């Protein structure tokens, strides 16, 4: 398998596990455009990139932003490894309860434990996939980026304690195999 086919092959795997799964463009969907407007309001403009930057699994589909077209094969592959975790969470929890947990528990902004738990599990797979395809240096570079995502406006300030994220990150890295490829 050539490198350029990595994400295509993984997409096929995802469709075998989730036959109704597909990749859809946010901008073409009225509900996604509506969610974008709501997010801008509830985060007071903190999350204004929902349509342009953020990938979202909702009701068994992956909704992609404008930036999807510019992503490399490897970046798409790492992203899909993260998103399949959300599909499995949806299967485990039910897609409606998961949306509730994701959006409302325990509070929409500031200390969203349900959302943070869901994202911790998925970002663990991001860390593992990054280590496999890009190596340890790229993996360690994720640390400060991940802290910023959890404590910042990207997910509505879902977990405002950087130390917790750092400890979680270090614990995941400690379980990685000795040496990945360079």
Binding residue for Zn ion (CB under 5 A) from 122, 127, 158, 165?
122
Binding mask 29-68 for Zn ion (x = CB under 5 A): ----------------------------------------
- Least separation, in Å, of the C-beta of 10 and Zn ion? 16
Give the nearer residue to Zn ion in terms of CB position, either 49 or 178. 49
Residue 88: CB minimum distance to Zn ion, A: 12
Q: Does 133 participate in binding Zn ion (rule CB under 5 A)?
A: no
Residue sitting closest to Zn ion (CB): 122
* Choice between 119 and 131, CB closer to Zn ion: 119
**Could you say whether residue 127 binds Zn ion (CB under 5 A)?**
no
Say if residues 127 and 165 touch (Cβ distance below 8 Å).
no
Q: List interacting residues with Zn ion (CB under 5 A).
A: 119, 122
């Amino acid at each position: 398998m050539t490198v350029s086919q990595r994400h295509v092959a993984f997409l096929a795997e995802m469709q075998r596990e989730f036959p109704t799964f597909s990749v859809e463009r946010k901008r073409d969907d009225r509900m996604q455009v509506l969610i974008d407007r709501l997010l801008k309001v509830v985060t007071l403009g903190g999350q204004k990139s929902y349509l342009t930057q953020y990938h979202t699994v909702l009701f068994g589909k992956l909704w992609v932003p404008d930036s999807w077209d510019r992503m490399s094969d490897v970046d798409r592959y790492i992203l899909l490894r993260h998103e399949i975790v959300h599909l499995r969470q949806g299967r485990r929890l039910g897609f409606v309860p998961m949306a509730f947990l994701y959006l409302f528990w325990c509070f929409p902004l500031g200390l969203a434990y349900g959302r943070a738990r869901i994202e911790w599990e998925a970002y663990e797979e991001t860390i593992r996939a990054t280590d496999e395809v890009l190596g340890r240096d790229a993996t360690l570079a994720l640390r400060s980026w991940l802290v910023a995502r959890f404590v910042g406006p990207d997910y509505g300030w879902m977990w405002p304690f950087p130390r917790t994220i750092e400890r979680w990150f270090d614990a995941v890295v400690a379980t990685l195999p000795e040496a990945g490829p360079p």
